[in-house]
Structure 1
Amino acid sequence: MFDALLTWTDLTGQEFAILTVIVFVAGVVRGFSGFALSAIVIASAVIILPPVQLIPICWWLEMTASVLMAKGGWQQADRGVVMGLVIGSTIGVPFGLMLTTSISPDTSKLIVLVLIIGLAMTQLAKIRLPFLATKPGLYGSGFAAGVATGLASVGGMVIAIYVLSQDAAANKMRAALVLFLFIGSLTSLVSLLWFGVMNWTAVARGLSLALPTTIGVIFGQWLFIPRFAAYYRPVCLSLLCALAGAALIRTQLA
């Protein structure tokens, strides 16, 4: 049965085992921080698969996590703001996918890892951009998140920068990210299908990795303690920088 699974996913046993561990850890981080699932998966797994193959896998993983966490996001998030971000993101995703599917895998890896490190460092530095609090800033942030989603499935990190500029409470920031990732995943599916990125192999990989992701998210939610919320983000971002940096060095030395 395991051999059939490997055939279905077009992976070796070692690759599947490594990916299982990666998505579990990423699920744990998503469960208690509300973001970074896709970023951690891509930063870690880019040495196994190119970004263009990881993006549709991450779609399934994000959707799995979002279904588990959507209730809290809908209750606490500013739904008007989230919908504005989703509109911008829906327009931006095809542009990111257009670039991802038109460049070489090596160049794509380089762009993706640099983008992840840059976004993580921006959040670690707690850089606030006042213009993001305007209407153009709202839709512009959504568009940038869509492009980032198409490039590396890291639109949630762009949205985190937007939410940071609003001086929102930690629970509202987490709720906005959760709700955006849920609704944004639904709208981005159209683009993934249109570009042929979401194929049967991607579906097989996504579904087979959904279970360890689910276990990770549930475990991460159990670990979430509100009084420690201020520490979760810097720890996750530092981990993300380390993973992306290590992958960047490895890809450049390969």
Structure 2
Amino acid sequence: MFETLATFTALTPGALAFLLAAGFIAGLVRGFAGFALSAIIMASAAVVIPPVELIPVCFLMEGVASIAMFRGGWRDADLGVVWVLVIGSAIGVPLGLLATTSISVEGSQLAALCLILMLTLAQLFKMVPRAIGSRPGLYATGLGAGIATGLASVGGMVVALYVLSRQDDAARMRGSLVMFLFGGMFTTGVTLTLYGLLDGESLRRGLVLAPVVLLGVLLGTLLFRPSLVPFYRRFCLFLLCVLSVAGLVRLI
């Protein structure tokens, strides 16, 4: 049975098992934190599957997670903030993609991850300027997230930093992240289609991985309960640190 699934997905049994484990953990974190699914899959499964093959799979899994979390996200999110971020990001993505013609992919990823790590550490130690959580900061974050997505596929982490800097209650922060990622699905889908990355192989892998990711998302959502809410912001900041460092290690 498992070997049949491996053949269906054009992966070795070992690579498929690794991808399924990474998908479950990523779904669990996504269900609790509201983001980081793609980053976790990329940081872990890239050791056995080329990153370019993981990009469309991550997109499909983000879609599964976003649909599963849509109801709660819509209820809790600050939608006024979310739509500004989504529109700004849509404007910024082409700029980021354009910049890749003059900047190496590795260099852009290195710069983006270093910036995210520094800003995250600043938040942990409460040294973030108030301007980051202001209205101008909102517009800059939306545009910056789009550029970061085009350059290094880390736009969600940029938005997470902004949302966490606003000091809202945990449910609103999480809901805003969920709805931003839901809105970003459409622009990302268009981009992947134009670049020819959404093919039959990606769809087959997504079909096999989806139930495992969905199970993780549902369990993670159950973990988001009142007794753990006080730890939400700090957990997310530590998560951003870990993801940034993991990305830097992979590049170096």
Give TM-score scaled by structure 2 length.
Answer: 0.83
Answer yes or no: is 1:92 the counterpart of 2:99: no
1:200–1:159 Cα change, 3 Å: same
Q: Which amino acid aligns with 1:206?
A: G
**Would the aligned equivalents of 1:77 and 1:179 in 2 still touch at CA under 8 Å?**
yes
Answer yes or no: is 1:67 the counterpart of 2:67: yes
Query: What SS does the aligned partner of 1:196 have?
Result: coil
Pairing 1:1-254 to 2, within 5 Å after superposition: 2-97=2-97, 117=117, 120-121=120-121, 123-238=123-238, 241-242=241-242, 245=245, 248-249=248-249, 252=252
1:200–1:95 Cα change, 3 Å: farther
**Deviation per residue, 1:70-110 (Å, 9 max, x gap):** 11111221212111100011122234455679988876876
Question: Post-superposition shift, 1:13?
Answer: 1.2
**Would the aligned equivalents of 1:128 and 1:161 in 2 still touch at CA under 8 Å?**
no
**Deviation per residue, 1:102-121 (Å, 9 max, x gap):** 98887687667656655654
**Would the aligned equivalents of 1:38 and 1:154 in 2 still touch at CA under 8 Å?**
no
**Would the aligned equivalents of 2:120 and 2:161 in 1 still touch at CA under 8 Å?**
no
Query: What SS does the aligned partner of 2:228 have?
Result: helix
Query: What SS does the aligned partner of 2:196 have?
Result: coil
1:134–1:117 Cα change, 3 Å: closer
**Would the aligned equivalents of 1:32 and 1:220 in 2 still touch at CA under 8 Å?**
yes
Give TM-score scaled by structure 1 length.
Answer: 0.82
Question: Post-superposition shift, 1:31?
Answer: 0.9
**Deviation per residue, 1:109-151 (Å, 9 max, x gap):** 7667656655654554455343334444323211222233344
User: What do you get for the CA RMSD once the two structures are aligned?
Assistant: 3.1
Instruction: Structure 1: give runs of 5+ residues left out of the alignment.
Output: none
**Deviation per residue, 1:2-61 (Å, 9 max, x gap):** 445334433211111111111101111111121221222222223233433322221111
Instruction: Structure 2: give runs of 5+ residues left out of the alignment.
Output: none
1:159–1:28 Cα change, 3 Å: same
Question: How far apart in 2 are the matches of 1:115 and 1:151?
Answer: 13
Query: What SS does the aligned partner of 1:226 have?
Result: coil
Aligned length: 252
Question: How far apart in 1 are the matches of 2:207 and 2:127?
Answer: 37
Question: How far apart in 2 are the matches of 1:137 and 1:26?
Answer: 29
Question: Post-superposition shift, 1:187?
Answer: 2.3
Question: How far apart in 2 are the matches of 1:15 and 1:62?
Answer: 20
Question: Post-superposition shift, 1:182?
Answer: 0.8
Question: How far apart in 1 are the matches of 2:207 and 2:119?
Answer: 28
Question: Post-superposition shift, 1:184?
Answer: 1.2
Q: Which amino acid aligns with 2:207?
A: L
Q: Which moved more, 1:222-231 or 1:46-55?
A: 46-55
1:95–1:230 Cα change, 3 Å: farther
Question: How far apart in 2 are the matches of 1:194 and 1:148?
Answer: 19
Q: Which amino acid aligns with 2:160?
A: A
Q: Which moved more, 1:137-146 or 1:180-189?
A: 137-146
Q: Which moved more, 1:90-99 or 1:207-216?
A: 90-99
